[in-house]
Amino acid sequence: MHKTLAIARKELRQIVRDRRTLGILLFVPAFFLLVYGYALSWDIHNVTLAVDDRDRSASSRSLVAAFVNSGYFDLVATIASESDVDALMDRNQARLVLIIPEGFSRDLTRGLSVPVQLLLNGDNANTATTVMGYALTIVQTESSKIQARVNGTVATLLRAEPRIWYNPQLRSAIFLVPGLIAYISMITAVVSTALSIVREKERDTIEQVRMAPIGASAFVVGKTIPYFAVSLVSGLGIVLVAMLLFGMPMSGSWTLLVLTLSLFLVGALGLGLLISSVAETQQVAFQVALLVSFLPTFMLSGFVFPISSMPYALQVITYVVPARYFLTALRAIVLKGVGFGIVWLELGALLVFAIVVLTLASARLRRQWA
């Protein structure tokens, strides 16, 4: 018993001396609780809605108002031509398009059944399923308000005709697989490079590197290249396996896909190098790498939970999560077949992130070598 207590005291002193590990042990559980508590929600709010009102009557405006006043939908656009629908859906500016036909009010007055069309963006199957449920419920509620008796029976005058784009069967794999590609690529790239420099620190080989005639920037680039090549091959392999096993489509350009994946990986590798320049042990580097790669990619990228449903503070944080931009671009390329003109903003964000983390890693190492 005495020996056990002695070991326990020794381990406790070691933990207290290692402030980084102590901080992780104390901070991470509380941080996970806060983020999961606020971000983990299956309710979907602020669904972007576009309306093509071809009737422009009091009845059609009442139907649009029912969507907006439900608390689930935000009216973001009024469609003037059919080409606007493609642009809004491709750019993710509208999750749902409501099309109200001409003669809507007239046919309701005559007691005729009138269809309204619902076009849903199906790149995220879970979100599309929930949004369709919301929309159908609103249409049914409005229909119940304008029922009429026809031949002695109660006829439902208003019915919805949903049309789901990009993923008509709402297969979960179609939207989960791109998220898994981002998730796996981010974790493996960050962890592998995070351990690289720390491993040299623990083996004291970093001192030999410092004595060599090589600058910090060249050292960072040299460390990144082999991991980048391996990660790129691995990422493309994941894409091919997803196409073969899960039936993920490839509607866009392979060149654009490789460019998107490359920018994402460079940023992830740079983040790993930045971590390795700060951490002193492989254990701490591994823990920090998991913290900054696993949690943001899984929770704050739109992988599983829609960003629009998160609290505003978390929505702001998601703008610095590279997986957010990578997922948007990846789904647009493989599911929608869009070109560079649609995803240039996401690619620019990935490029900025890669430059920032590589610059910080180089500056950190240069200061240590000085």
Q: What is the pLDDT of residue 7?
A: 41
Tell me how far apart the alpha carbons of residues 288 and 296 are, in angstroms, rounded to a whole number.
12
β-bridge mates for residue 78, sequence order: 51
Angle at 103 between CA 99 and CA 104, to 5 degrees: 55
Do 184 and 328 have their domain in common? yes
Q: What is the pLDDT of residue 350?
A: 95
Other residues' Cβ atoms within 10 Å of the Cβ of residue 52: 19
3-state SS assignment for residue 144: helix
Give the number of domains in the chain: 2
Other residues' Cβ atoms within 10 Å of the Cβ of residue 54: 14
Tell me how far apart the alpha carbons of residues 323 and 299 are, in angstroms, rounded to a whole number.
10
Q: What is the pLDDT of residue 148?
A: 46
Q: What is the pLDDT of residue 349?
A: 94
CATH for 68: 3.40.1710.10
Angle at 67 between CA 66 and CA 69, to 5 degrees: 65
238-294 pLDDT, tens per residue?
Answer: 788 778 877 778 888 999 999 999 999 889 888 888 888 787 777 778 788 878 887
Domain that holds residue 160: 47-165
**Contact between residue 354 and residue 266 where contact means Cβ atoms under 8 Å apart:** yes
Any idea which residue has 């399923």 for tokens? 129
Q: What is the pLDDT of residue 92?
A: 83
Q: What is the pLDDT of residue 139?
A: 86
Distance from first CA to last CA of the chain, Å, rounded? Answer: 49
Tell me how far apart the alpha carbons of residues 232 and 262 are, in angstroms, rounded to a whole number.
7
β-bridge mates for residue 149, sequence order: 154
Amino acid at 247: G
Q: Which of 145, 165, 185 is the last residue of a domain?
A: 165
Q: What is the pLDDT of residue 180?
A: 76
Q: Average pLDDT of each block of 10 consecutive residues along the chain (370 residues)?
A: 51 59 54 51 77 89 89 88 83 89 84 85 79 86 64 55 71 72 80 73 63 64 75 81 79 91 90 82 79 81 78 87 91 88 92 90 72
pTM: 0.66
Do 112 and 207 have their domain in common? no
Q: What is the pLDDT of residue 178?
A: 79
Say if 13 falls within a structural domain. no
3-state SS assignment for residue 158: strand
Do 200 and 342 have their domain in common? yes
